[in-house]
């Protein structure tokens, strides 16, 4: 992982995070990511609507007060949350106890949505769901600053750590499952479409949050699967590229 400064802030890593990193063998700290603070106008807006709501309708005012108190600008508990990326994994401090995920064993689902209002782009929402081998999960969102950086870093690091082992399994005749998509040395398959040999795969394209698999000689896609349903999406693409090149 490249050294990416998340913010120009001097931040002391808590002892419990360092102890967990050591016990999990995560290696050197590479970057830390902080909660995204609300802008001045957003804070002013919440204060205004809180006061207005209390004057006119009590419940809406209380809702805006609750939202204001949960911003990292006001809440020290929210401001203390962190994503710590290490050489061999990450630690998330957003609960009572920090949670660690190793790159060589974790899985991740990503759901990135570009939002529009009346045809005008208004922002992008990010949701990354991390999975441990024991089945425990954790969700990361745009609550943290630079989601386009830490999100891509998670995918790249999982791919780097797991690609050699995945290709080794395939070479020994084992199939790899990425959600509904299954790949092996001979081709790919889905429960609905059956199997497709690598020699018949004309293209694999990603567009508008969908993965399209094109079959040679066919205009329509053989398969289209939402990216958000493919665990370790970057690893899936890397495996497919390698197997198609071998075939």
**pLDDT (tens digit per residue) in 71-118:** 666 566 777 899 999 999 999 997 778 999 999 999 999 999 988 887
Evaluate whether 84 touches 90 at the Cβ level (below 8 Å).
Answer: yes
State the first-to-last Cα distance of the chain, in angstroms, to the nearest integer.
30
Contact predicate 196/188, CB 8 Å:
yes
In percent, how much of the chain has pLDDT > 90? 64
The pLDDT, as a whole number, for residue 162 is: 98
pLDDT beyond 70 at 5:
no
Q: Catalogue all structural domains in the chain, each as residue range(s) with its CATH number.
A: 175-246 (2.30.29.30)
Give the pLDDT band (50/70/90) at residue 193: confident
Number of Cβ within a 10 Å radius of residue 103: 22
């Amino acid at each position: 992982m490249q050294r990416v400064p998340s913010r120009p802030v001097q931040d002391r890593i808590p002892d419990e995070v360092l102890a967990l990193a050591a016990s999990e063998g995560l290696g050197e700290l590479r970057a830390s990511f902080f909660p995204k603070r609300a802008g001045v106008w957003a804070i002013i807006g919440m204060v205004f609507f809180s006061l207005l709501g209390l004057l006119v309708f009590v419940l809406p005012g209380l809702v805006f007060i609750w939202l204001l108190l949960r911003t990292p600008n006001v809440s020290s508990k929210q401001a203390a949350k962190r994503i710590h990326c290490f050489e061999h994994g990450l630690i998330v401090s957003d609960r009572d106890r920090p949670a660690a995920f190793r790159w060589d064993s974790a899985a991740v689902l990503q759901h990135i949505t570009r939002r529009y209002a009346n045809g005008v782009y208004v922002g992008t929402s990010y949701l990354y769901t991390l999975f441990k081998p024991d089945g425990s999960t954790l969700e990361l969102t745009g609550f943290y600053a630079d989601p386009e950086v830490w999100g891509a870093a998670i995918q790249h690091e999982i791919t780097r750590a797991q690609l050699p082992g995945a290709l080794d399994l395939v070479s020994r005749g084992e199939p790899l499952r990425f959600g509904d998509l299954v790949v092996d040395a001979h081709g790919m398959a889905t429960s609905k479409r059956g199997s497709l040999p690598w020699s018949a795969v004309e293209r694999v394209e990603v567009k508008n949050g969908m993965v399209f698999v094109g079959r040679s000689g066919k205009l329509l896609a053989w398969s289209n699967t939402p990216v958000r349903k493919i665990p370790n999406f970057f690893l899936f693409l890397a495996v497919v590229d390698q197997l198609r090149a071998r075939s």
